[in-house]
A and B are shown apart, each in its own frame.
Chain A
Amino acid sequence: MKPFRSDAVFAAAAILLSANSAALAHGWAGQRFFPATILTDDPFVADEMSLPQISVNPPGPDGARQTDYQIDLSKRITPDTDVIIRDQWQHLQPVGMPSVAGLGSLQTGAQYQLFVNGPHEALGLVGLNVTWAHTGRVQALGAPDFTTLSPTFDFGKGLGDLPRSLPYLRPFAITGNLGFDFPTKTESAGVPNPDNFNYGFAFEYSLPYLECCVKDIGLRAPFNQLIPLVEVSFTTPINRVPAGQTIGTIQPGVIWAGQYFQIGAEAIIPANRFTGHGYGGVVQFHIYLDDLFPRSIGKPISEWW
């Protein structure tokens, strides 16, 4: 490395010290970039915002159709912790009845980045999410009249550390979350509120990773920024209701990840008849606040002063 002028070094060091937490923002582990997935929780703390996420859900078991317009904000408090807030406007069209619309339940959460392992492209995060009672339309839209506590463990692992003799497997990555729901009321209007086990995974094939780190096959924008993926997510009641009432969805799709934002689109396929039938779809516009505003709101709050 050629020698540099000392004043340039000091200036750069000052810049780094003023915003050195950028290393943990976004979903980076070593040379692996993890995009924010749509269905499953992300295994990294971040300064990011989904604005909006629009879901046209498959018809439910009773044939009702619901469309959700969701906003989601993650904000780092320190380099390793963040808070999230999420809400949605719901539009429900029951079969043979007038449609209804209103706010869904407010969700908040706090998360801690347990580890980031660069060489093995691994991430781990623990969090506690809270779905708040009486913050949505309880009667009309079925929003809960009880608060639910949901501890979660989220993880991510890239396969970039596979032997170089398996080059085309190295762009694969998996992220996932394991968690529970603990409602604070055991029943509402005579209907039991079970504790749930939640599990979900996202299987990703990163074309940016293929291009930058495995083999340049000549893809250029926008194709070299695409990440095809399949997400699955399930919820299984573990008490208070008969066994075998797992619900879930399978969501194949693609994410385009740019410098300042990403755009994702997925089909929504019910995993079983308890979930619904037919098909739906979801699109998401997701903003990287740490890249858009690296010197202001994109920094952790602990580094604002």
Chain B
Amino acid sequence: MADGVGRPAEARASGFIRNPQDFWGGAALLAVALFSLWAGSDLPGTKGFAFGPGTAPRLFGGLLVAVSLVILVNGLISDGPPLERWGIRAPFFFIASVLFFGAAVRPIGLVISAFLTLMIAAAANKDVRWGESVIWSAILTAAAVALFIYGLSLPMQLWPR
């Protein structure tokens, strides 16, 4: 405890929520569990000895409610490190590139969408070198086409239709 006094912000979280990773982790899982219970609430349950479609989801969801409550309470009564900061740049551009690929691959074909996906993803790195990225994206696109289209003959559109 003594070493925690000098640098409270670094080593230990302070305030009412003493272990924020557990508290928010538990809270989010509780939300997931309750959501799944709500989403499955219209499914028929057990009839006699026979499980209905809703029995197992309710069983697992119910257990998750209990366990996530334990984690949440543990976040209040035990000490732990503060929440880690989320990166903004890396997740934003990386996820954007994946979503772009999903949206683009059908209408504009693999070649252009793969290249653009890689260029968006390149921005996720804070030390991006654009010249290098253009060359590398082109190489990877060519390699992907060679491997997946010619090598494994996946049925995919190459160019815009």
A and B interact: no
